[in-house]
Homo-oligomer: A and B are copies of this chain.
């Protein structure tokens, strides 16, 4: 049994009410997992959205969802209200409340707290880093965020494919060049690199934030790749038109 079930979570009702056991529900062996069939025979679209078919598989690891504590239950509820769903990355951490809370706290501080970087700029860093690391989960989820925040469906594609092809301000280009170098060759980052950011009018606090966001996605890209984390299917069609 253990080897045939993977990290997954049930529907919202289960999340809110159920004990840990209720959260394990994928049936059948790996070989017939819905994921594996994707390319060959995509599941038919169902009323109410693709999420119904695609989102039952979250990671390749068998980790039983723990009961949500009140803070995290409220957080998940807030996700459902604002987004219509709970991002799979949160569900992947839900086997352990301490880990989930630590991840959520760091994520929310980095991406949403006041900063000299706009939310869009932080998402642009997220996607450019994830592009270097070729992280499917993060490219899908944060590519959608760039499209959404910018109202520019092309900008999300440019960040995901090659940010160097985008026509950016000098400031944003300097920001992404720093993030890209920090991702690819952190051992080569030196004072000259920080000076380039300062010349593009970033403060030292901004430099911290650029570094911290780029570094964070170097972490989360690797958690996602290590566990074969799958994005909510909702993201794919999100904000595709201006």
Contacts and interface: CB of A to CB of B under 8 A. Distances in A.
Interface of A: 2, 7, 33, 35-40, 42, 44-45, 50, 54, 60-63, 95, 98-99, 101-103, 105-106, 109, 113, 131, 133-136, 139-140, 150-155, 157-158, 160-162, 164-169, 172, 178, 182-183, 186-191, 194, 204-205, 207-208, 210-212, 214-216, 218-223, 225-228, 233, 236-237, 240-242
A134 B164 CA distance: 10
Nearest to A159: B39
A131 B133 CA distance: 12
12 contacts: A39-B155, A40-B169, A98-B113, A106-B106, A134-B161, A134-B162, A134-B187, A135-B162, A157-B236, A186-B221, A189-B226, A216-B219
Contacts of A228: 165, 190-191, 194
A183 B42 CA distance: 29
Nearest to A136: B165
A54 B54 CA distance: 34
B227 A191 contact: no
Contacts of A210: 226
A33 B191 CA distance: 13
User: Quick one: copies of this chain in the complex?
Assistant: 6
A178 to B, nearest CB: 8
Contacts of A223: 211-212, 215
A167 B106 contact: no
Contacts of A45: 241-242
A158 to B, nearest CB: 7
Among A40, A150, A222: residue with most chain B CB under 10 A? A222
B240 A39 contact: no
A233 B53 CA distance: 30
